[in-house]
Amino acid sequence: MARAAGVSQSTVSIVLAGKAEGRVKPETRQAVHDAARRLGYRPNLAARNLRLGRTRTVLLVVPTLTGPVFGPIYAGAAEVAAARGFGLVVHPWPDDAGPARSQVDTQAIEGVLASSIVGGLTDFDDLPVVVMDSDPADPAPTINFDVAGGMRAIAGHLAGLGHRRIGHLAAAVDAWTFHERGAALADAFPGSLARHGTPIDVAAARQAALEMLDRPDRPSAIVCDDDVIAAGAYKAARALGLDIPGDLSVTGFDDVLLATALEPELTTVRLPAEQLGATAMTALLELLDGRRPADTSLPGQLVIRSSTAPPR
């Protein structure tokens, strides 16, 4: 390759690294670029990594690759990473993370972006880590959705419709949000908040909703921490012969595909997942530069559809 351009290998390296300013004549630069294009030359990555001792690659760790929110997070993170010359590798991290650990090549990675990790990430202690959608008490920089703000928006919407007695189907997995989501609702509905924790699972949520609804003093609205949980609430309502939104208002959270597939379409909160990924990647790159990024909270947007109405 150096021969093809008629210069030394050093010069090729300097030119292609963009460090030719004042050190290589413009016409020589051009010759190198021409030869590179003609030969389809790409610098050998392994050699570069070996020489520099760094890979310019970060790892994105997610609990499961199946979730609907993960694609946009990846897209946002990847775009920011690419703009800074970093690569992005994805690794699933199931909650029972036993076998997954061994598959992670810690040495090929400069930093870790972790999303919605419940069990902690102790194996990466030595690497810079930024966490998304996780406990704000985590020692690592945290980039979160503003779930409290989203809950306040929902609470305000329901209160404005005239609801006074509501129920809350809380997602049991992320225990750290239980308090702040509950607080946001309790502020708007003092003294009249029923709460159940439930796994994010249609059948389990249906059961929890049934217990909440199958009593004389049932709430006129159910706030769910997740769209999937809301689907369970729909099923419970139908089982009890309750009309949505006539007899019961239901709200979700996340605005996944399910929200518009249900009948009636679900009032929920849309979360800026792509922005979350981009912000978190920016924070991680700051961390790699030695600066300490600020914890951030990104607001969601209330999407009012047909599952909420004034109480009878």
Partner DNA sequence: GAACCCTCGTCATACGTATTACTAACCTGT
Partner DNA sequence: ACAGGTTAGTAATACGTATGACGAGGGTTC
Instruction: Please say which residue, 117 or 193, places its beta carbon nearer to a copy of itself.
Output: 117
The stretch near a copy of itself (CB under 8 A) out of 2-10, 73-81, 132-140, 299-307 is: 73-81
Residue 9 contacts which entry, DNA, a copy of itself, none (Cβ below 5-8 A, type-dependent)? DNA
Half-sphere CA count of 141, side-chain side, radius 13 A: 25
Cβ 133 vs Cβ 148: under 8 Å: no
Q: Tell which one of 5, 77, 258, 285 touches a copy of itself (CB under 8 A).
A: 258
Residue 307 makes CB contacts below 8 A (sequence gap 6+) with: 230, 244, 245, 249, 250, 251, 252, 262, 264, 265, 266, 267
Smallest distance from a copy of itself to CB 79, Å: 9
The option from a copy of itself, DNA, none interacting with 24 (CB < 5 to 8 A, set by class) reads: DNA
Show the tokens assigned to 224.
Answer: 């769910």
State the nearest-atom distance from the C-beta of 22 to DNA, in Å. Answer: 6
Handedness of CA 107, 108, 109, 110 (dihedral sign): positive
Closest CA to 223 of 252, 261, 180, 191: 252
CA 104 to chain centre: 20
91: which strand partners?
61
Residue 99 CA to residue 84 CA, distance in Å, equals 32
Report the candidate in 257, 256, 293, 277 with the shortest Cα–Cα distance to residue 90. Answer: 277
Number of residues that bind a copy of itself (CB under 8 A): 42
Residue 10 contact partner, candidates a copy of itself, DNA, none, CB within 5 to 8 A by sort of partner: DNA
User: How many CB atoms neighbour CB 150 within 10 A?
Assistant: 24
Q: Out of DNA, a copy of itself, none, which partner does residue 25 contact, by CB within 5 to 8 A per kind?
A: DNA
Query: CA–CA separation, 170 vs 177, rounded Å?
Result: 9
Q: Does 188 bind a copy of itself (CB under 8 A)?
A: no
**Distance, CA of 166 to CA of 230 (rounded, Å):** 14
Q: Binding of a copy of itself at residue 194 (CB under 8 A)?
A: no
Binding site for DNA (CB under 7 A): 1, 7-11, 13-14, 16-17, 19, 22-25, 28, 43-44, 47-48, 50-53
Tokens in use for 47?
A: 């050699």
Binding to a copy of itself in span 22-61, by CB under 8 A = 42, 44-47, 49-50, 55
Select the span of 22-30, 186-194, 231-239, 289-297 touching a copy of itself (CB under 8 A).
231-239
Q: Tell me which stretch binds a copy of itself (CB under 8 A): 14-22, 71-79, 171-179, 280-288.
A: 71-79
Q: Per CB under 8 A, which of residues 98..157 are in contact with a copy of itself?
A: 102-103, 105-108
φ, ψ of residue 205 in degrees (nearest 5): -65, -40
Residues at the site binding a copy of itself, with contacts judged by CB under 8 A = 42, 44-47, 49-50, 55, 64-66, 68, 70-72, 74-75, 78, 82, 87, 89-90, 92, 102-103, 105-108, 202-203, 228, 231, 234-235, 238, 257-258, 260-263
